[in-house]
Amino acid sequence: ARVVGAGVGEGEEWRNVEVTAYFTYSGNVTSKSHGISIGSRSNHNDYDDNPCNAHGYYLKYWAASREIGVQKEFYHNGSNVIYSGSRRGKTLVDFVPGSFIGVKFVIRDAYDGVQLDVYADYTEGRDGGDWNLITSFKDTNWKAVGYDDDYDFPCRYTYFKNPYNKASST
């Protein structure tokens, strides 16, 4: 499914975002790369014009290992994608194949970075769900794989230490 955000106009950025989804799988997955990805806080739709606009955050679920985690995309053009390494959290051992699991991906500005929180609901949404924190990570300067410094990196981003006072940008 593709979700397009309402109220985000030309030149505006995705800031504080929450994405909730339910999914299931058969349990017969052996490939290490199969699973789900939920991308958010991105202007990915116009990466053809500006590959640096594809930057965003992903919640990822690796079905074979039942691991859940987060990853950052920095750049995307027709032939090249630059990601961070993945930050994997708990293994979803309570996820029974054939049932539905809910995941909630919360991305919000923090004073010193971007806070990423992932929650899981094993009740299939009964009574609004029972949401448990699975992993939490603060991006204060998450590096792209293969780039130890910013000198040869193709994009420049401005992250604010205080999202409410843009004069304190880094």
Mean pLDDT value across residues 34-46: 81
Q: Does the reported pTM lie above 0.75?
A: yes
- CATH of 17-168 among 2.30.30, 2.60.40, 2.60.120, 1.10.287: 2.60.120
Highest mean pLDDT among 9-13, 125-129, 145-149, 151-155: 125-129
At residue 84, the pLDDT reads: 85
Contacting residues for 49 by C-beta, under 8 A, at least 6 apart: none
Mean pLDDT across 28-53:
79
pLDDT above 90: percentage of residues in the chain? 23
Q: Which of 119-123, 141-145, 153-157 has the highest mean pLDDT?
A: 119-123
Check pLDDT > 60 for residue 74.
yes
Indicate the domain borders of the chain.
17-168
Q: Where does the pLDDT of residue 5 fall: very low under 50, low under 70, confident under 90, or very high at 90 and above?
A: very low
In the predicted structure, residue 167 carries a pLDDT above the cut 50 = no
The residue with greater pLDDT, 91 or 22, is 22
